[in-house]
Structure 1
Amino acid sequence: MASSITHRFVDVNGVRLHIAEQGQGPLVLLLHGWPESWYSWRHQIGALAAAGYRVVAPDQRGYARSDQPSDVGSYTLLHLVGDVIALIDELGEEQAVLVGHDWGAPVAWTTAMLRPDKVRAVAGLSIPPILPGGLVPPSITRTQYGEGFYQVYFQQPGVADAEFAKDIPTSLRRFLVGASGDNPLGKEPRPLVVPEGLGLLDTMPESPELPAWLTEEDIQVYADDFALHGEQAFTGAFNWYRNIERNNELLAPFRGRGIDVPALYVVGDRDMVTTLRGPDGLSVGDLLRGAGGPGNPMSAVAPQMRAPVVLPGCGHWTQQERPTEVNTALLDFLTGLDAPATR
């Protein structure tokens, strides 16, 4: 029987990270997204540990109980990949399977691209492999969606930071519900755009009740950890967005390089990410409709990618909204890594 979740701190790559861990066996690292923490994997940790894996879920740099460096430039993808590699080494392991959601997915994909020697396999939830920089830079997205596009809005120093830190539980409640498949404004996914003169949370009104997958206790767990950073509760998290342009510049030498390890992509059909377009004009939804076909960009980036798993009715919070389906997909993927080749 798997042990219970334990918590501790580790010093890696110049930062102190909080980690949650459970189980023994091959290492699986679970990398959360924005604005979350290790707790977003609460439904996966025990299930994977019970299946025979050593599962570790860190609070990534800038988040929750982990260190929040003051320098905005300390949040590039190269720093984040460095944290992952250093964590694998600190845990005494040679390799890990990486599973990332939201921002954790670009970290996982980029780590697999840069260090396939340390990554046994990789799975991304919500965000597909957009290489080499992880996300399309603001110099492109602002022409596609305008100055109100949420990633452009986040570039303004202190603005979104203050908006979200004003009332942390309310901010988290509105955003978690608003970006889910159960949002009260309708089921069709759409890009997040902030109207002039408003804040992002103004586009996400309070829901009369929480969806079944989210409780007030869940929200409070997140809120208590973010509150540890006071008025800077979300600044470290927003600093990830403030390096998107720089990521594309720093990783330019790797343009054209792909992911050479087994890969899996899981996304909800109500996730707003499915509506976002790349520089080529194709949306994530377009890629999914053509996944596996000749010349499909997703297959070209990760030749060993399994067939994408699309979850009906699921919004952005993949592993929280559909824990059973996500656990099944991950366990099938992990089991397949050890299965003998059939071709």
Structure 2
Amino acid sequence: MAEHIQIPTPAGTFDALSAGPQDGRPVLLLHGFPEAAQQWTEQLAVLGGAECHAVAPDQRGYSPGVRPEQVLDYRMEELVGDVLSIAGHLGWDRFDLVGHDWGAAVAWATAAAHPDRVRTLTAVSVPHPDPFGDAVRGDEDQQQRSAYMRVFRTAGAERTLLDDGARALRGIYGGAVPQHHVDDYVQRLSEPGALTAALNWYRAMRYGGGRIGPIAVPTLYVWSTEDVAIGSTAALATADHVTGPYRFEMLEDVTHWIPEQAPEALSRMLLEHLLAHQG
């Protein structure tokens, strides 16, 4: 059973879930949109049982204690800084990094910029940002899949998602996420300022710093064939952007919500990846 903890950093205090022994192998798990640390419940249990010290924070904007109002405060460099601050408070010089959706984007950027800190990378759903950006610009299929991002950046996105009992927000999960998780996410994001903070991740994309370059750390990338947001073009091209040991896994008949829809398969692959790279 994961325990709720708080992690103080210069940016504010993050809420988090923690499992496993304090002296276990450090693993940090980053959630995506529109979710929270709870999405990693199954993986936290498995990692804790494998004597890892697994921590999943509610990221910037999702933790009430770290919810700045300015869009610029949600640039990737700030999100990567949060990862390092959290690891620093936990006393982790090196750690295994896992991310899903937006959390995967942050994990890719962290591994690219700080390979000395990241022992292994596990990215779920979202591919390496460089081929993904290329696909968004030049691949018609990915352009159609990513059209929702323009909606999320509009001024009225909050109202669109929360109107009619948050019908549109609930629809994002597509029936693939456990209902009690959906109810929790919707409740959290219905709090004043919470959804704006989460959407500011998308609004800050225009301030991105460009390409992140190749990944040198051992990397596992897990993609699913029924992911409506991520097409195969960038998923398959990711191999060309990892110079370290690379493993690509494709899950058939699974949607974007891999950690919750296919928890056993993901947990198995994650543990295999960690065991394969002990150094």
Note whether the superposition's TM-score is higher than 0.5. Answer: yes
Match for residue 149 of structure 1? 147
Kindly indicate which of the two structures has a greater share of residues assigned to strand: 2
Residue 206 (structure 1) aligns with = none
The Cα offsets for residues 37-57 of structure 1, whole Å up to 9 and x where unpaired, read as: 001111111111101100000
CA shift at 1:299, angstroms?
A: 2.6
Shift of the 65–142 alpha-carbon distance from structure 1 to 2, 3 Å rule, reads farther
**Structure 1 segments of 4+ aligned residues over 6 angstroms from their partners:** 141-144
Q: Which runs of 5+ in 1 are unaligned?
A: 178-209, 277-282, 288-296
Q: Can you list the C-alpha shifts for 1:132-176, whole angstroms capped at 9, x where unaligned?
A: xx9539994799747x9111222212x111112335653443110
Distance 1:284 1:138, change over 3 A: closer
Question: Partner of 1:115 in structure 2?
Answer: 114
Q: Displacement of 1:275 after TM fit?
A: 2.2
Deviation at 1:225, TM superposition (A): 2.2
2:159 counterpart letter in structure 1? A
For each residue in 1:187-238, what CA deviation from the matched residue of structure 2 results, as whole angstroms up to 9, or x when unmatched?
xxxxxxxxxxxxxxxxxxxxxxx55x522x222222232233x2x3311111
Report the TM-score when normalising by structure 2.
0.89
Q: What CA RMSD, in Å, does the superposition of the two structures yield over aligned residues?
A: 2.5
**C-alpha distance 111-334 of structure 1, shift in aligned 2 (>3 A):** same
Taking the aligned partners of 1:172 and 1:323, their CA distance within structure 2 comes to: 22
Pair 1:6-2:3 in alignment = yes
Change (3 A) 1:39 1:153: same
User: Does structure 1 retain, via aligned residues, the 8 Å contact 2:74–2:201?
Assistant: yes
Structure 2: how far apart are the matches of 1:127 and 1:308? 12
Residue 153 of structure 2 aligns to a residue in which SS? coil
Sequence identity, in percent? 30
Q: TM-score, normalised by structure 1?
A: 0.74
The amino acid across from 1:11 in the alignment is P
Gaps of 5+ in 2: none
8 Å Cα contact 2:152-2:199 kept in structure 1:
yes
Deviations 1:260-282 (A, max 9, x none): 11000001111124427xxxxxx
Note the C-alpha offset of 1:30: 0.6
Question: C-alpha offsets along residues 3-29 of structure 1, whole Å, 9 cap, x if unaligned?
Answer: x31112222241321111111211101
Q: Which residue of 2 aligns with 1:334?
A: 274
- Paired residues of 2:135 and 2:143 also in contact (CA < 8 A): no
State the partner residue of 1:78. Answer: 77
Q: Which of structures 1 and 2 has the bigger CA Rg?
A: 1
Instruction: Name the CA distance, whole Å, in 2 between partners of 1:325 and 1:57.
Output: 19
Q: In structure 2, what is the equivalent of residue 293 of structure 1?
A: none
Q: What SS does the aligned partner of 1:308 have?
A: strand
